[in-house]
Structure 1
């Protein structure tokens, strides 16, 4: 008998943006076929056989690496959450423009590749390097700045040289799929996934701040609805959580139900998940499963014994080791980034 299977949820077709069915997935690794897809442009057409990455800028020995050269270097594995900065955007009130992501612009798996610092050491960075710019092969018209652009992002030097910032060639033990950055993709743990540039084309060391549109216009928080007052860049992930079961507006029976989900953060690690059944008046601690890595989400469980019929709202909040806690209402911003309001579902209980 064929078992029913979940599907990716389409948010747009061109460019393709598809959401992971996060509520129907369990475990520390997202299978490739369920990894969410986020694109600004159409997919580039690339071949690993002729693929090259050029490193230039403020370096002593500019160099071009082939795909096979990079694959032959000593590699390391990094298990990490990748979350789109617009994940959960659909929940902002007042509503904002952008892809209508709910909870599934989020996936996790094991990436294998070369420490970025190894490549930078090979070309010899100059003393005045401040940032490293990463250019992808994907390109097209920007929604917010007139003109044609490649997708480009920069990292401050300390983030670029973090031991777990890698140029990845594999995901879950196999070559990265084309739709997720094949042949090579940057992976930056703890940062929102716009930093993990796909289809890597060029790496450039610069001595000032990068000013491309995906750095200085997009992927910034704009707290004011009209002006740029208070604008600041999107960087590391907020503390966040999702209830995977029960589903929102479920109808259940009296008895014991296992409320479950995941929680993650871009600073430190998840230390506590709490559940409220009375709109935040009181909280009960959920059981946290062990993390698989310092960058992975934590699965949590909460046994809920229901003895009365009626309607209930289940609210969940997560805390991390840096002292952050999910807010009841997140900071509104007009581009809809970084939503991390407490996760909630509504349930009706029948006899």
Structure 2
């Protein structure tokens, strides 16, 4: 088990790209419920945004009866809430799709978990007194950049349906694990949308716009859509709720271990409900055994383990399969889609016992 106080051996982020900076969390070496800020994965579409913190104001406008703007000090003075949340990139595990797809080739570490503190978005919307015909809430970030597919510059913007925007756990967050939100993760404020893939949790929030229509920005209607067909856009639908999933943390894939008892351990999570069971196979899915699972809470991780006596000297294919409280179970094969979102097939590693 990783000892974060060990001055010699410490995990680190794995760089996937330098521009924009995209780095994976060392998921196989993190055995606490809160990912340290220094090991939180990074997913960026553009370079980090420059802006003047001293003159920062957050406005709530458009389809509201009382347009309003908040300073950081005013946000900090409002009633707050803390929620432990899994942040998972929609492209997590993309490298595992077969046939392979284009995009950042994330392995299993484009996810992290921790405690976010902030003001419920609902509080700000209520103060602005939104119109009765409001449908969506658009959140715009300060980060922007050129998109070659559209030959134009776009800010990163996403919308939430009103029901999700008004959920009491949807936050405008300013703190992570009891410390100020790090700059590279959205300082001074970011949106946190528990249960949804992290593309919804806009960083460096610039303004909030309430609209009485459907938002059609490129990060809403081009990206972060499931495209089931390789050659056309038919039957496409939006990426929203996190799929039930699990990852084996130990042993590592292609490990060589001695005969005897070894504890298989890992994590499981879901965007809707809580994890109810995790099953483990050591024979490539021929048979399954129940793992011991902690009592995870909604939107966070569950940790699980199973001790097994590896007596035969041979190769073993170990698999993990999670089921949540809505009876969603990891499938044997993932739902293939052209942009490689939402991978959640049964996890597996292969080890050799000598």
Native 8 Å contact 1:48 1:67 kept in 2: no
Q: How does 1:292-311 map to 2 (within 5 A)?
A: 293-311=297-315
CA distance in 1 between counterparts of 2:271 and 2:84 reads 14
Q: Bigger CA drift: 220-229 or 48-57?
A: 48-57
CA distance in 2 between counterparts of 1:172 and 1:314 reads 33
Shift of 1:47: 4.1
Q: Judging changes above 3 Å, is the alpha-carbon distance between structure 1 residues 261 and 28 closer, same or farther for their aligned structure 2 residues?
A: same
CA distance in 2 between counterparts of 1:112 and 1:128 reads 30
Shift of 1:146: 2.6
Question: What is the TM-score when the length of structure 1 is the normalising length?
Answer: 0.98
Tell me the secondary structure at the aligned position of residue 61 of structure 2.
strand
Q: Bigger CA drift: 93-102 or 63-72?
A: 63-72
Residue 195 of structure 2 is aligned to residue 194 of structure 1: no
Residue 123 of structure 2 is aligned to residue 118 of structure 1: yes
Q: Bigger CA drift: 142-151 or 14-23?
A: 142-151
Q: Bigger CA drift: 281-290 or 182-191?
A: 281-290
Question: What is the TM-score when the length of structure 2 is the normalising length?
Answer: 0.97
Q: How does 1:144-223 map to 2 (within 5 A)?
A: 144-223=149-228
Q: Which residue of the partner structure matches residue 260 of structure 1?
A: 265
Q: Which residue of the partner structure matches residue 350 of structure 2?
A: 346
Q: Which residue of the partner structure matches residue 34 of structure 1?
A: 39
Shift of 1:57: 1.2
Deviation by residue 1:79-138 (Cα, 9 ceiling, x = unmatched): 010000000000000000111100000000000000111111111100000000000000
Q: Which residue of the partner structure matches residue 339 of structure 2?
A: 335
Shift of 1:161: 0.3
Shift of 1:143: 5.1
Native 8 Å contact 2:135 2:162 kept in 1: yes
Q: Which residue of the partner structure matches residue 238 of structure 1?
A: 243
Q: Which residue of the partner structure matches residue 3 of structure 2?
A: none
CA distance in 2 between counterparts of 1:166 and 1:76 reads 8
CA distance in 2 between counterparts of 1:3 and 1:47 reads 38
Tell me the secondary structure at the aligned position of residue 199 of structure 2.
helix
Shift of 1:34: 0.3
Q: Which residue of the partner structure matches residue 100 of structure 1?
A: 105
Residue 287 of structure 2 is aligned to residue 287 of structure 1: no
CA distance in 1 between counterparts of 2:339 and 2:299 reads 26
Tell me the secondary structure at the aligned position of residue 238 of structure 1.
coil
Where do 5+ consecutive residues of structure 1 fail to align? Answer: none
Tell me the secondary structure at the aligned position of residue 163 of structure 2.
helix
CA distance in 2 between counterparts of 1:143 and 1:328 reads 36
Deviation by residue 1:291-340 (Cα, 9 ceiling, x = unmatched): 2x321110000101111100110011100111110011101001000000
Q: How many residues align?
A: 349
Deviation by residue 1:42-95 (Cα, 9 ceiling, x = unmatched): 001234322111111100111121111111111110101000000000000000
Segments of 4+ moved more than 3 angstroms: none
Where do 5+ consecutive residues of structure 2 fail to align? Answer: 1-5
Tell me the secondary structure at the aligned position of residue 283 of structure 2.
coil
CA distance in 2 between counterparts of 1:142 and 1:199 reads 19
Q: Which residue of the partner structure matches residue 55 of structure 1?
A: 60
Tell me the secondary structure at the aligned position of residue 70 of structure 1.
helix
Tell me the secondary structure at the aligned position of residue 243 of structure 1.
strand
Tell me the secondary structure at the aligned position of residue 141 of structure 1.
strand
Q: Bigger CA drift: 255-264 or 50-59?
A: 50-59
Native 8 Å contact 1:47 1:183 kept in 2: no
State the Cα RMSD in Å. Answer: 1.0
CA distance in 1 between counterparts of 2:298 and 2:323 reads 15
